Amino acid sequence: MIRHVVSWKLAATDAAQRELDAAAIIEGLESLPALIPEILFFQVGRNVAPYADNWDLTLVADYDSLDALEAYQVHPEHQRVVAIVKPRVGARSNVDFEV
């Protein structure tokens, strides 16, 4: 099984815009498990700790294999959400590992 972990730092500096951007990203991401059968587990969370160095959002998702992860990556619904996410983030971090 492959665990896919992605974290984002939002680009906006205005607090209200950050809230809107986080909500749009979470809404888009949370639509994916119902649309992409390769997803076994999928959780999106927003940072709640008041530490400036923390990342703003994190996704944790599980897939049967690297092939299943790749199918998710190229899926049209995932690509639709990527188009929502990319303009709203300033930095992205990712790791995929076996569990």
Angle between helices 66-74 and 76-85 (to 10 degrees): 70
Question: Around 9, how many Cα atoms within 13 Å sit in the side-chain half-sphere?
Answer: 11
pLDDT at 85: 98
Residue 70: domain span: 2-98
For 8-24, what is the mean pLDDT? 96
DSSP calls for 5-68: EEEEEES--SHHHHHHHHHHHHHHHHTSTTT-TT-SEEEEEE--S--TTS-SEEEEEEESSHHH
Report the CATH number that the domain containing residue 62 is assigned in CATH: 3.30.70.100
pLDDT tens digit sequence for 55-99: 999 999 999 999 999 999 999 999 999 999 999 999 999 999 999
The secondary structure of residue 78, as a DSSP letter, is: H
The pair of three-digit structure tokens given for residue 97, joined into one six-digit string: 């590992």
Q: Give how many domains the chain has, as a whole number.
A: 1
Report pTM. Answer: 0.94
